[in-house]
Structure 1
Amino acid sequence: MPQLLQHQVFQSLASSPHARLERCAELNDGLALAIWRNHHDSREYHSPGHHTLTCYLDGGTGTFRRERPAEKGAPDKLCVLPAGHESAWVINGDIRLVHLYVSDERFALDALRLFDREPREMQLREHTFLDDPVQALRFRRLIALPWEEPGERLLVSSLSHELLDHLLRTQAAPRQNPLLRGGLAPQQRRLLQDYIAQHLDEPLELDDLASLVALSPYHFARMFRISFGVPPHRYLLARRLERACRLLRDSLLPLGEIALACGFASASHFSNRFRAALGGTPGQYRAAFA
């Protein structure tokens, strides 16, 4: 739970004498989950560093934002709370809800993958009491899974990523006239994305990537992080793991061949990286989706 305690929304509820944590899970890839019960409470969030997607499970008909007392919650209502937002909540009566916490780094990786735009160009729109039956059904499926079981935990992670993908496709939008300073030129960013995608099975060194855009390794690493929202090694690992997940789900290739196809030095190296990122081994992942 240490990473979760750094999340302001989680921390605020954890410090409340009225709120009770049912269960939580850190999914190790920039996502975390928590189910809460609360009653007769008030909470405020001030510029949290993570994005939060909420689904009301039970109750909530007496819950409202302090500045909008006429709008009340209900089961299956969703709230989208972007990083940096400000909100104050009043909870009258009982409520049970589930939170999906999304790190800025996870948002950046998925924004790049889905929109081919710099993450700093995109923003998550804030919503209160949104109706989205597809997302509500995903949350209902999610809370029915045993988060502690290794095989099931991989399904939990996959379903959480589905929630995030849908959230970004429906609620993310370009910022209006963003002030972008530093970073890579758009053609440099696209060149790097294409090159990395085409050479995931090869060793990719920082010097090699920097030379593609005629920059020193130091300046390249700094400008890459500005444009991509993550350091080069984190972006590369994320892309390799995404390819590995596709091959594990959609092919019968042996694990050793998948490891080499995704640029890992060995099957053991692949397994260690996969487990650290997703909470289970490649074999468990394949079995979960069989």
Structure 2
Amino acid sequence: MTPLNQLQVFKSMHDSPHARLEHSAHLGDGLAAALWNNRHDARDYEATTHHTLSCYIADGTGTFRRDQPARKGSPDKLCIMPAGAPSHWVVNGSIRLAHLYISEEQFALGCVRLLDREPRELQLQEATFLDDPEQAQRFRQLITLNWDEPGERLLTSTLAHAIFDHAVLSQVGLRKGLRLKGGLAAHQRRQLSEYIESHLDQALSLGELAALCNLSEYHFARMFRESFGLPPHQYLLARRLATACQLLRSGNLPLGDVALHCGFASASHFSNRFRQALGATPGAYRAAFRR
């Protein structure tokens, strides 16, 4: 994921002389989190390249959007700021709030995985001061964890995924007036998803996947990215890691068997890829869920 100091919402808060960063961390899989305090401030977010989910933890009763001055925040209120949607905020008094930053690539994966829809068809719907007690409780659990301690950081990542999944399932709608060009047909996308899931333990090649759609490798790779939101090799790696996480959380397979089941050439290759994505080894991840 983009470094935190290059995420527009994070950078805008960090550049404010009034805002104070309590904690921040990359959580893997295109997710990052931050906990802020702010007081007597004004913040503008323009053309962001990432999505931001926000939850007010304390105060915030003097916070409002400039275009909606009559509506004020309060603890447990949620805000959804989609990528590309500008918003302008005024903070009167104090506020403590948590942010979850989501990459466009992770959003695309969520659309395919949870909704079985092409990401280009969908958009995260903007919301201001949304009431969702279940989601607010997840944010409150998130900030109680120590994001720097390896075991708790893994739990934080899992909780962040739960927050993201809930947002995709409840706050995503169709883009208006969109006419899609290019990309794979719906039945091809579904066939590929099912084929990849059932062959994760095998060495899948670009040519093999392209042949399923009767396309050249070049055209297949371009159309796959248009329909899935990321290249075939990145999608395949994401699905292998997600399956590995599920096996590590719920089973007792030796790590070498988990690696082979998910299509990694060796336990060391699996461990390196896993650590790059989640910031810890597979063994540490399993241990975190057995505490």
Which of the five TM-score ranges fits, normalised by the shorter chain?
over 0.9
What TM-score do you get using the length of structure 2 for normalisation? Answer: 0.97
CA distance in structure 1 between the aligned counterparts of 2:173 and 2:57, rounded to whole angstroms: 27
Greater displacement, 168-177 / 240-249: 168-177
CA distance in structure 1 between the aligned counterparts of 2:181 and 2:8, rounded to whole angstroms: 28
Aligned to 2:152: 152
How far did 1:175 drift? 2.1
Query: CA deviation digits over 1:4-26, x for unaligned, max 9?
Result: 12211111111111111111001
Amino acid at match of 2:152: E
Aligned to 1:42: 42
**Runs (5+) with no aligned partner, structure 1:** none
How far did 1:58 drift? 1.1
Amino acid at match of 2:159: L
Shift in CA distance, 170/232, structure 1 to aligned 2, threshold 3 Å: same
CA RMSD after TM alignment: 1.1
CA distance in structure 2 between the aligned counterparts of 1:131 and 1:51, rounded to whole angstroms: 19
Secondary structure of 2:170's counterpart equals helix
Amino acid at match of 1:134: E
How far did 1:248 drift? 0.9
Secondary structure of 1:151's counterpart equals helix
Q: How many residues align?
A: 290
Aligned to 1:66: 66
Aligned to 2:204: 204
Aligned to 1:190: 190
Task: Answer yes or no: is 1:93 the counterpart of 2:62.
Answer: no
Aligned to 2:248: 248
Percent of aligned pairs with the same residue?
Answer: 64
Aligned to 1:127: 127
How far did 1:176 drift? 3.0
Aligned to 1:233: 233
Q: Is the 8 A contact 2:28 2:157 kept in 1?
A: no
What TM-score do you get using the length of structure 1 for normalisation? Answer: 0.98
How far did 1:2 drift? 6.5
Secondary structure of 2:21's counterpart equals strand
Amino acid at match of 1:82: P
CA distance in structure 2 between the aligned counterparts of 1:2 and 1:186, rounded to whole angstroms: 30
Amino acid at match of 2:174: P
Aligned structure 1 segments of 4 or more residues deviating by more than 3 angstroms: none
CA distance in structure 1 between the aligned counterparts of 2:120 and 2:235, rounded to whole angstroms: 15
Task: Answer yes or no: is 1:142 the counterpart of 2:146.
Answer: no
Amino acid at match of 1:103: S
Amino acid at match of 2:18: H
How far did 1:177 drift? 4.0
CA distance in structure 1 between the aligned counterparts of 2:51 and 2:168, rounded to whole angstroms: 11
Query: CA deviation digits over 1:201-229, x for unaligned, max 9?
Result: 00011111111111111111111101000
Query: CA deviation digits over 1:239-275, x for unaligned, max 9?
Result: 1111111111121111111110000001111111111
Greater displacement, 11-20 / 150-159: 11-20
